[in-house]
Structure 1
């Protein structure tokens, strides 16, 4: 399979169902940290659920409705980026991310997300990439800012997460705003 360098010993690769054990071990290392703002750790508590979640994204990739990539550093899976939603017909998609604590603060998510957004605009001709984030998740908001996204608004108390209502910020970047992106 392909691997895209993210600098140093980090690379971006497809995260596929056959990597379920590796994915679960990664999630176990970062479960508490990732789970502060993202529901992924709750969805994949064991090997069967990890395999099923990865299979969901393999199916989405086959249907052209989503994509999933892992971030490896020194050969160890430390995080991921994805297109949770990918609607080629409308030209809109939603990117997202997660990262275990040992890999935080080195720009891995920003670089990996830049790669997939660039692909969406240049190769797929997408018009808009969105970033949905809890208003409490400052590191993820900072990624949106570093990517040149604009804050479109806040969905007040729209999401019930672990029994608490939270606000969701919507950030986006349009193709004509992206360096070297497609123009309509």
Structure 2
């Protein structure tokens, strides 16, 4: 397994695999309520078997080249993840998602991990459009989209059924030419 450093603060990102299901479940348990504010993952990952099944789904997506999951670690502890929820090389479109447990918030970890994942998708895989779908109430996630140079494309009104209620979803995106231009030094 490989890891990519996210800076000098002991942060890194690396693939999550089914054999890490116990560690993944412990991470979700630490952040279950916090993560569940805007993300349905805690409703899916409830025990060791569902944790393993979730990671297996992403292992299958990685093998089929249709998605990926990268853990975010700080000082060796799993504290969050970034995912390519949708990854369509033929169409050149990907959707990035993320979450963190509360102890890891406010350290720039999601921004740095998402930047590494988007850079790989654009530069190595030829993705042209990277999307970020977010609840309008999730200010920190919208701030990440802005830091990544994304523009708000629009709002899908009441498009997302979550815990029995309909919610709006904002779609943000960055296109490969803008991504590359933003990376160029001064």
TM-score range, shorter chain: over 0.9
Deviations 1:88-139 (A, max 9, x none): 0000000010000000000000000000000111101111000001111111
Structure 2 unaligned spans of 5+: none
The answer as to 2:46 corresponding to 1:25 is no
Cα separation, 1, equivalents of 2:107 and 2:3: 19
| Aligned structure 1 segments of 4 or more residues deviating by more than 3 angstroms | none
User: Equivalent residue for 1:6?
Assistant: 6
1:55 — aligned with what?
A: 56
Aligned length: 181
Cross-structure match for 1:157 = 158
The superposition leaves residues 13-39 of structure 1 with CA deviations (integer Å, 9 ceiling, x where unpaired) of 101100000000000000000000000
Rounded to whole Å, the distance in 1 between the matches of 2:167 and 2:158 is 5
State the alpha-carbon separation in 1 of the partners of residues 114 and 151 from structure 2: 15
1:120-159 alignment, distance < 5 Å: 120-159=121-160
Q: State the TM-score, normalized to the length of structure 2.
A: 0.96
CA-atom RMSD, angstroms? 0.9
Q: Residue 179 of structure 1: CA displacement?
A: 2.9
Q: CA deviation at 1:180?
A: 5.3
More displaced, 62-71 or 171-180? 171-180
**Secondary structure of the structure 1 residue equivalent to 2:90:** coil
1:106 is aligned to 107
Quote the Cα distance in structure 2 between the aligned partners of 1:75 and 1:177: 33
